[in-house]
Amino acid sequence: MTIHQQVDFDDNVSRALNDSQLIKNTKAAMGTLVAKRKAIFPDETEIEQLRTLGNALKQKALSKLPQLLEQLEEKCIQNGIKVHWAETTSEANHQVLDIMRSHGATSLVKGKSMVSEEMELNAFLQKNGIEALETDLGEFIIQLNHEKPTHIIVPAIHKNKDQISKIFHEKIPNTPYTEDVAELTAIARKILRKKFNEAEIGLSGVNFAVAETGTLCLVENEGNGRMCTTVPGVHIALMGLEKVVEKLEDLPPLLRLLTGSATGQLITTYVNMITTARKQGEKDGPKEVHLIILDNGRSQIFADPDRRQTLQCIRCGTCLSHCPVYNRIGGHAYGYTYPGPIGKILNPQVEGLKAAGVLATASSLCNSCEEVCPVKIQIPDLIRRIRNESYSKDPASTMEGHGYKRNLLETLTWKVWEKINTYPVINAVGLKILSVLGIKLPQIGPLKNWTRYRATPELAPKSLHELVKHHGVDHE
Amino acid sequence: MRRYPEKPQKVYYFGTCLVDMMYPEAGMAGIKLIQREGVKVIYPLRQTCCGQPAYNSGFPDEAKTVARKQIELFTENFPIVVPSGSCAGMMRHHYPKLFANDPDSERAINFSKNIYELSEFLVHVLDVKLEDRGDPINVTWHSSCHALREMRTTEDSKLLIRGLKNVNLIELQNETECCGFGGTFAIKQPAISAAMVKDKTDDIRQTGSARFISGDCGCMMNISGALQHDKVQIDGQHLAEFIWERINDNPSTG
């Protein structure tokens, strides 16, 4: 596990809320993604059935996860793919480095991989004298600008065309300023083509790994994934251990859910199915394929029956696109690899509550994420669970950092709340006293956070309990 | 879709804590709308809160103690009508989870099966016919997230509004997006919540409506509070109170 400093989330949020360009770019892009998803899934009954199927397929895979991982390893080995197990991100980083060193390689071309972000692989390789180049256009842009992705699917979506033009002009030597999209793309293409040809090693993520056949499935739209996995002599694939599915026949519905939810596409431009390295007599493809399977806290999540569903996630990013909070603060504010609703439940479980538990406060529990999740992860319930664990001193809790937030004021507040609402007499008398005395709620403590933006709530002179008695409603 | 029962002789009414404290007229209007159909309304006086504030804030034990008290009060197998999509959602969809592995589990499940949000009950069980006696008015409708995505009763609410002949319902832009209330979310993340309610009030202003109608007092308190804070003359009103006002010459419920 990477040790992170506690993110100053409040600070990040206020900075984001004041960045009107960021919010404008994010909202516009998310609006487009939401509309595209809606257009590809027009029939509510059909998408509901498909989501139920997606949920069942991922649950099935998780129900026999250890067995499927073993089967995957066995099949991969049979197919000539070398399999490495990494318990921590540090182990995974060293595995990549070792493979590179064994080939005397100093450069790497990368397809998009969130697991590599989780590992902070680029920084690690750089420290070890290796250049890792992002080849997904969005990742390429933010790498130029030394930023992290703001979205799982569209990592540079917080930048508009003008900003990208400026980045290209400033960061790529001898590049004249242009706002022409075709020209910008051509500039990137020229650089990337050269690098694809030169690089000794290509790295990619994995969307689904099929246990039955040992097939690594990778979807993408730019062809850069195919270049990374076919041109260099060695291909390294990175996957979280939750990416395994049982059968090849499980893929079509999951692919449809993934691409439809992510970008509103029926299918991506490229669907790569990688099963072996180059065989004797074949003219292309890498001579060596490695698969690194990362745990990084996932088996802890797997061990808890309620939290296990977190691992159903297929990283489509649609919960981000639909989230009213993400739409207003963008991805960087979350401070961890995975932003948005999935990040609110995943980061605290991987990084520990003390580091990332605060993310769970950033939800109004509006259920937008749950409504669209292609594999029906009950994100709001898991947010509640994390909130609960943040205060819980239960020694049986398996969540790292549980109880970190426990404090006398909140504990006492909710105890008093419980008593008031358990003994209606206190409730009625208390309410009466408040309503007789000044009617307004006091502007103290946490209520100040309310009244900074809103008028002070007023108590009614007579409660419904009193009105009911007055009107002779049968009140038992 | 949910299967609805025949019109019953008696119903329970769960007023919700927020209606009790802040919007009792709305609660009373809901009761009168049911009584108007010849159904007897029983309001157990020892009722307090559904428990959602603690449940959503990470204090499920406290929520459960309060929830258990409510379950104990509504002993007969009558429909329990709730003038809030959010509190109804809590009692209908979350009580079974809250009481999983509890000796009261079955009781909680049976209780939850009796929960109806007010507008779905008026539409599907009571099949109300409303005669509008009010002057022409433009209104817009704000749906709470839990009415929309848990109880799924938003269309029923809008159907009732559309049934009022002098009322022009102007649809809200971004209608399905949260207003930023979220209970303690508004206190824990005040700046994000404020950004959300600002967008909601902007959308409401865009409609040019004199009033916005909602079925949930949490949202209403949030949105009206923000409108008042910004000195905007648009009132929020609970659906029940709005309907009661429209169909009566002398609408007082107080």
Question: Which of A142, A213, A141 is CA-nearest to residue A181?
Answer: A141
Confidence band, pLDDT 50/70/90 cuts, at residue B252: low
Helix (H) or strand (E) holding A225: helix A224-230
pLDDT of residue A1: 41
CB contact under 8 A, A455 and B229: yes
pLDDT score of A456 more than 90:
no
Chain A residues whose CB is inside 8 A of the B52 CB are none
**Which residues on adjacent β-strands are paired with residue B140?**
B170, B212
Instruction: Find out whether B236 and B121 touch, Cβ atoms under 8 Å.
Output: no
Structural fold of domain B137-247 = Rossmann fold (3.40.50)
CA pair distance A213, A59, nearest whole angstrom: 19
Structure token digits, residue A217: 């499935």
Task: Measure A222 CA to nearest chain B CA, in Å.
Answer: 32
What CATH number should be reported for the domain whose range is A9-120+199-299? 3.40.50.10420
Asked if the C-beta of A371 comes within 8 angstroms of chain B's C-beta atoms, the answer is: yes
Task: Measure B33 CA to nearest chain A CA, in Å.
Answer: 13
Per domain, the residue ranges of chain B are 10-125, 137-247
The 10s digit of each residue's pLDDT in B118-150 is 999 999 999 999 999 999 999 999 999 999 999
Q: Name A198's Cβ contacts closer than 8 Å, sequence gap at least 6.
A: A107
Phi, psi (degrees; rounded to nearest 5) at A370: -65, -35
Of A364, A422, A457, Cβ closest to residue B182: A364
Helix (H, G, I), strand (E, B) or coil at A81: strand
Question: Which of A340, A268, A380, A286 is CA-nearest to residue A40?
Answer: A268
CB contact under 8 A, A460 and B22: yes
Helix (H) or strand (E) holding A220: strand A215-220
CB contact under 8 A, B181 and A364: yes
CA pair distance A371, A367, nearest whole angstrom: 6
CA pair distance A215, A218, nearest whole angstrom: 10
Cβ neighbourhood burial of A47 (10 Å; 0-12, 13-18, 19+):
buried
**Which residues on adjacent β-strands are paired with residue A440?**
A458
Question: Which of A411, A394, A383, A398 is CA-nearest to residue B59?
Answer: A411
The 10s digit of each residue's pLDDT in A187-226 is 999 999 999 999 999 999 999 999 999 999 999 999 999 9
Roughly what angle, to the nearest 10 degrees, separates helices A65-79 and A44-63? 80
Confidence band, pLDDT 50/70/90 cuts, at residue B8: very high
Phi, psi (degrees; rounded to nearest 5) at A458: -110, 135
Instruction: Find out whether A264 and A208 touch, Cβ atoms under 8 Å.
Output: no
Distances in whole angstroms, Cα of residue A217 to Cα of each of A228, A253, A375: 14, 13, 18
CB contact under 8 A, B192 and A365: no
pLDDT of residue A7: 72
Task: Measure A29 CA to nearest chain B CA, in Å.
Answer: 15
Question: Which of A237, A240, A241 is CA-nearest to residue A288?
Answer: A237
Instruction: Find out whether A139 and A149 touch, Cβ atoms under 8 Å.
Output: yes
pLDDT of residue A138: 96
Instruction: Find out whether B11 and B115 touch, Cβ atoms under 8 Å.
Output: no
Chain A residues whose CB is inside 8 A of the B13 CB are 473
| Nearest Cα residue in chain A from B151 | A367
Sign, CA dihedral A254-A257-A262-A268, equals positive
The 10s digit of each residue's pLDDT in A94-105 is 999 999 999 999
Chain A residues whose CB is inside 8 A of the B45 CB are 424, 465, 468-469, 475-476
Question: Which of A177, A266, A139, A273 is CA-nearest to residue A219?
Answer: A273
Average pLDDT, chain A: 94
Chain A residues whose CB is inside 8 A of the B188 CB are 361
Chain A residues whose CB is inside 8 A of the B254 CB are 462, 467
Confidence band, pLDDT 50/70/90 cuts, at residue A325: very high
Please give the span between the terminal C-alpha atoms of chain A, in angstroms, as a whole number: 58
Per domain, the residue ranges of chain A are 9-120+199-299, 415-470
Q: What is the pTM of this model?
A: 0.96
CB contact under 8 A, A468 and B43: yes
